[in-house]
Amino acid sequence: MAIQEQCTEVGINLEVIIQPFEQCMRVEDLKETDIALIDVVFDEDKILAYMEFFHLEPDYINAHLSPEMLKDVKRQLTACIQEPDHLQQLDKLLQLEERLIREGIFFPLYRRKNKTIFHSALKGVSLRTFGWTDFNDIWFLATD
């Protein structure tokens, strides 16, 4: 069932307009958009991934912020960059994300963590972005 039909069933009237990707890249068009469905793949480095997320081009998040909130978000990101402790940096980014969710600016539809199963003799396996592994780190345990 389409999104528009599901919303209509619960009393929400909306019009779904699918735009070409090129049009979604223009900030002036983003400001006219009520909802943007985007896909973001986070890197292994969560701090870097969040910083990239908050600086996406086009600027999906900031395009929908009031001038006051945009200024505050930029202040929080600057404070995060200046924080020497990585755990504190991540904590600040998570707090910012939680705030944007609470304010209805951003809503993650799902998050998925990749897992894999492999032979017990294979060691050094870890999944990276997009499900790849670093083959330089893999080795086999000698068996008798």
- What's the pLDDT score for residue 131? 67
Distance between CA atoms of 63 and 60, rounded to whole angstroms?
A: 6
Residues in CB range of 2: below 8 A, 6 or more apart: 16
Summarised one tens digit per residue, pLDDT across range 63-120 is 778 889 989 999 999 999 999 999 999 999 999 989 988 988 877 776 666 667 778 8
Average pLDDT over residues 11-17: 84
- What's the pLDDT score for residue 79? 93
Q: Among residues of the chain, what percentage have pLDDT more than 70?
A: 90
- What's the pLDDT score for residue 84? 94
95 φ, ψ (degrees, to nearest 5):
-65, -40
Summarised one tens digit per residue, pLDDT across range 66-76 is 889 989 999 99
Domain residue extents for the chain: 21-102, 113-144
DSSP 24-58: HT-HHHHHT-S------PPPS-HHHHHHHHHT-SS
- What's the pLDDT score for residue 7? 84
DSSP 112-143: --------TTEES--B-GGG-B-GGG-EE---
Distance between CA atoms of 59 and 55, rounded to whole angstroms?
A: 6
With a cut of 70, say whether residue 58 has pLDDT above it: no
What is the average pLDDT score of the chain? 81
With a cut of 90, say whether residue 49 has pLDDT above it: no
- What's the pLDDT score for residue 53? 82
